[in-house]
Amino acid sequence: MSPSTSPSKEISAIKGTKDILPREVRVWQKVEAQAKALFELYGYRELRAPVLESTELFEKGTGETTDIVTKEMYTFSDKGGRSITLRPEYTPSVARAIIEHRLYLQSDPLRFYFIGPMFRYDKPQKGRYRQFHQVDIEVFGEKDPAIDAEIVEMADTLLRNLGVRHAETLVNSVGCRACRPAYSKDLRAHAQSVRDLLCPDCQRKITTNPLRIFDCKIESCREQAALFPKITAYLCQECRDHFAKFCSTLDLYEIPYKVEPNLVRGLDYYTKTTFEIVSAGLGAQNSLLGGGRYDDMMKDFGGPDLPAIGFAMGMERLISVLKVEPEASRFLYIATLGEEAKAKGIEFARLFRRQGVESLIEFGDRSLKNQMSRANKLGAAWTLIVGEDEIRKGLFQLKDMASGTQNEGTVDNLLKIVREKAQDSK
Ligand code: AMP
């Protein structure tokens, strides 16, 4: 045995990743189920893409000058010498899948959702992980600003349904390929004039992509970025009209929002609309979800000219602001005494489970008293007692753990009682 596999050394989860243990998973499942049901109501369907993609997909899609691509990707060569990346975000995968499967030739709306892990090699801190989970929404083929407002409304509804309070919606427009170059030029000139006040990374961004200075997390750079020219003054007529209609549709939905001219978001592909929902309860990493429009991505990938919009919400951050109590399950504990009873218990567990009753039978040899106290401790709704005498008589005891009442009957009778009570409690 090599020293690294010595049995005394405890192996922990990789920095920036974490286990989600069963009690917490219950909350995740509840949130995921609510999110999926809501998205389906709006006509979205799930699209599951692989975790592994070619590195080129993100270089091209996410953008070569973004922090994600330059600093944060988990990239490696596989055994075939290909450059592979663990997806840092989902949008490029969806665009790839649409083109690869020619989904745009089908009549189904190109509206997709997905919930799953993303990977970014960033500095871990509260609300920022290296493996985190996103709820992702993508719409392709809709250029009307009404869809921009509809997905904000959908996000808002989800957060309201989940009981999230104190969330604020920020909106902006980052222009398009027609109007952004003039803005970038002025931004570059302005950033150049305060070059010495920026970090080395932002100094590099002055040349590569000055817009990305807005993403810097260093306080002194953020102070400077707040004084930069605002994109709003540079928007072309088309972008201005789009933004005005987006905002007026949000008004129609009665969604309060704030125009935030510095909201350019960390990805290169955004055009026109960008938005973010922030929550004061989150601390420094206050963004619950962010999204925007990416009208050029499809054609840049060599696909059809389809406009697109979407958002991604961080599950960890969402869960951290929720006060969702996991629902306790109502289950049956089967207590057995002796080998013959154990075999019967196994048979009963199968019968109850087939009828939709969650049933737990533990196989270690324990006294009846011990098993009853286990059932209590685990929060069983009922305990079914199976002993040799009961088998001989064909009559078993069912104890209701909350009231302490006990019923004697055939297993079929007891199953009926359990099913009725389980139904009543729903
Ligand atoms: P982005 O894909 O960067 O636009 O982020 C969208 C959302 O994903 C954010 O609003 C966060 O809620 C979440 N998120 C992004 N990066 C991380 C991370 N490293 N750890 C946890 N959540 C994240």
- pLDDT, averaged per 10 consecutive residues of the chain (426 residues), comes to 64 97 93 97 98 97 88 97 98 97 95 98 94 98 97 97 93 94 92 94 91 87 91 94 98 96 80 94 86 94 95 96 80 96 96 96 93 95 95 96 95 94 74
- Gyration radius of the chain's alpha carbons: 28
β 287-293/308-314 pair status: antiparallel
Q: What is the pLDDT of residue 209?
A: 87
Please identify, by atom number, the ligand 1 atom nearest to the C-alpha of residue 128. 20
Q: How far is the CA of 9 from the centre of ligand 1 (A)?
A: 33
Q: How far is the CA of 31 from the centre of ligand 1 (A)?
A: 17
Q: How far is the CA of 122 from the centre of ligand 1 (A)?
A: 11
Q: What is the pLDDT of residue 252?
A: 97
Q: How far is the CA of 155 from the centre of ligand 1 (A)?
A: 15
Which residue has the CA at smallest separation from atom 10 of ligand 1? 289
SS (H, E, C) the chain: CCHHHCCCCCCCCCCCCCCCCHHHHHHHHHHHHHHHHHHHHCCCEECCCCCEEEHHHHHHHCCCCCHHHHHHCEEEECCCCCEEEECCCCHHHHHHHHHHCCHHHCCCCEEEEEEEEEECCCCCECCECCEEEEEEEEEECCCCHHHHHHHHHHHHHHHHHCCCCCEEEEEEECCCCCCHHHHHHHHHHHHHHCHHHCCHHHHHHHHHCHHHHHHCCCHHHHHHHHCCCCHHHHCCHHHHHHHHHHHHHHHHCCCCCEECCCCCCCCCCCEEEEEEEEEHHHCCCCEEEEEEECCCHHHHCCCCCCCEEEEEEEHHHHHHHCCCCCCCCCCEEEEECCHHHHHHHHHHHHHHHHCCCCEECCCCCCCHHHHHHHHHHHCCCEEEEECHHHHHHCCEEEEECCCCCEEEECHHHHHHHHHHHHHHCC
Show the ligand 1 pocket: residues with CB < 6 angstroms.
89, 120, 122, 127-129, 132, 134, 266, 287-290, 312-314, 316-317
Q: What is the pLDDT of residue 282?
A: 83
Burial degree of 364 (CB within 10 A; 0-12, 13-18, 19+): exposed
Mutate to test the pocket of ligand 1, among 67, 73, 128 (most ligand atoms within 8 A of CB): 128
273 close to 175: Cβ distance less than 8 angstroms:
no
Q: What is the pLDDT of residue 266?
A: 67
Q: How far is the CA of 381 from the centre of ligand 1 (A)?
A: 40
Q: What is the pLDDT of residue 268?
A: 73
Identify the sign of the CA torsion 117, 325, 41, 426: positive
Q: What is the pLDDT of residue 5?
A: 54
Mutate to test the pocket of ligand 1, among 15, 118, 126, 315 (most ligand atoms within 8 A of CB): 118
Phi and psi dihedrals of 35, rounded to 5?
Answer: -65, -50
Q: How far is the CA of 300 from the centre of ligand 1 (A)?
A: 24
Q: What is the pLDDT of residue 212?
A: 86
